[in-house]
Structures are given as structure tokens and as C-alpha cells.
Amino acid sequence: SQKIEQNSEALNIQEGKTATLTCNYTNYSPAYLQWYRQDPGRGPVFLLLIRENEKEKRKERLKVTFDTTLKQSLFHITASQPADSATYLCALDMRSDYKLSFGAGTTVTVRA
Amino acid sequence: DARVTQTPRHKVTEMGQEVTMRCQPILGHNTVFWYRQTMMQGLELLAYFRNRAPLDDSGMPKDRFSAEMPDATLATLKIQPSEPRDSAVYFCASGLVRTGGAEQYFGPGTRLTVT
């Protein structure tokens, strides 16, 4: 069956360090992959989209990589800040009319 | 700043009652999605529309759930009759689908509690 796994439910890091989140998938051949941020009591907010033919994408302090051979995406938050504390969700499009399947999310807590 | 709006934000109802949730997508977006989020199941796609036409509702229980898009500015999700297991946060999202992918913009959600 199709499966999306995000590493550990929670990640605690010190301010200024880099947070690295992992999204692994099996039995998928996604056309692209997206990352979203969700704060408590709010809807997910789009952060980045990376296509299957792209290796890396950056946006300010965020970086995403996409390895279709390993079936893995890495999401990095550099120079992390307490304001980066949130749950981060990866989502895959299965070439099926832009439907997204979401991972369970990783909750990041940045300590000051 | 364009946003997806959802009403109501909170709803508490008794088992067996009808629940209607409403969503106003971002103007110009051609695709509308309905999701349900619970701690156990995470974020699940229930149904979605393209240019107001339903494309897929395989994610929702057909006997009690229905989704419609009567016009471009309104999408509705109805549960009749509601059950305690329907308690969850329901999100509407919209996007402009184009070649190469489309990000989705989520509303604030409707927190439904069925007692």
C-alpha cells in the first residue's frame, strides 16, 4: 500500500541550529512534493513545492531536496528561530489530478 | 490579502443532527478541496472540485456526507445524520491547478464536535 512517513513526531532544537526533517515514501511516483507549515488551531500554510526533475529548492532560510531514487525529501530550516516552532507536513501529488496525500507531520520546537 | 474563508469556525451538535459547513475559495482558483483532520488519521482528502465539477469524493462516506459547489464562490460539505466519529476539524482549501503542480491555500477550518 502507499505510505508516507515523516521522521519522528517531534524535533527539539536550539535556536540558531539547523532543523532537518525527513519525508520518506513507498509505492509512489510523485510528480512533485510540497511542504506545509501548520500552527495549532490553524490550517496548513504552503511553504515550498519541488518537482521530480528538481534536486533542490530554496526559500529564505528553508531548503528542500528531493531524491526520487531514495524516495525521500529533506526539509531544512537554517538559523532556526522560536517563531519556526510548528508542525511541518509533507504532501505528495500522485499524478492523479493534483490530489495531495499528506504525511502525519513533524512538530518542531525551537528553544531560545 | 486573498484568503479562504470557512463558516462556522466551531460547531457542537448532537448525534443525528444535520451539519452544513461552508467555504468561500479564493477568487480565481479553479480547484476546491475538502479535508478532515484528526489526531489518529491526520489530514485526509474527502472530496474535490475542478471548475465546480466534482472530480473525486471517494474519501468520504457516501451514505452520510455530501459535497457541492453551487457557484464559484461557495462550496458546501454536509453531514446527515452526524455521528460522534465525525468529530474532527474540517478544512477547505483552494488552488489554481496548472502544469507542474499547484499549491493549496487552506481555510481556518471548522471544528466539529458531535455528542
- The predicted pLDDT at position A30 comes to 84
Percent of chain A at pLDDT exceeding 70: 95
Tell me how far apart the alpha carbons of residues B8 and B18 are, in angstroms, rounded to a whole number: 14
pLDDT higher than 70, residue A96 = no
- The predicted pLDDT at position B100 comes to 62
Q: What average pLDDT is seen over chain A?
A: 92
- The predicted pLDDT at position B102 comes to 81
Q: Which residue of B has its CA nearest to A38?
A: B106
Contacts of A46 in chain B (CB under 8 A): 103-105
Q: What one-character-per-residue DSSP string does A32-99 give?
A: EEEEEEE-TTS--EEEEEEETT-SEEEETTEEEEEETTTTEEEEEE-S--GGG-EEEEEEEE-SSTT-
Q: Does B95 sit within 8 Å of A102, measured CB to CB? A: no
Question: Residue A76 to residues A26, B6, B99: CA-CA distances in angstroms?
Answer: 21, 32, 26
pLDDT higher than 90, residue A8 = no
CB atoms within 10 A of CB B40: 6
pLDDT higher than 80, residue A95 = no
Comparing A79-88, B35-44, B53-62, B80-89, the range with the smallest average pLDDT is B53-62
Q: Give the gap in angstroms from C-alpha A35 to the nearest C-alpha of chain B.
A: 9
pLDDT higher than 80, residue B26 = yes
- The predicted pLDDT at position B99 comes to 66
- The predicted pLDDT at position B7 comes to 98
Phi, psi of A69 (to 5 degrees): -75, -45
Q: Give the gap in angstroms from C-alpha A11 to the nearest C-alpha of chain B.
A: 18
Q: Which residue of B has its CA nearest to A49?
A: B103
pLDDT higher than 70, residue B87 = yes
Sign for the pseudo-dihedral over CA of B103, B104, B105, B111:
negative
Give the best residue of B91, B104, B105, B110 to mutate against chain A (max A CB count within 10 A): B104
Q: Does B56 sit within 8 Å of A97, measured CB to CB? A: yes
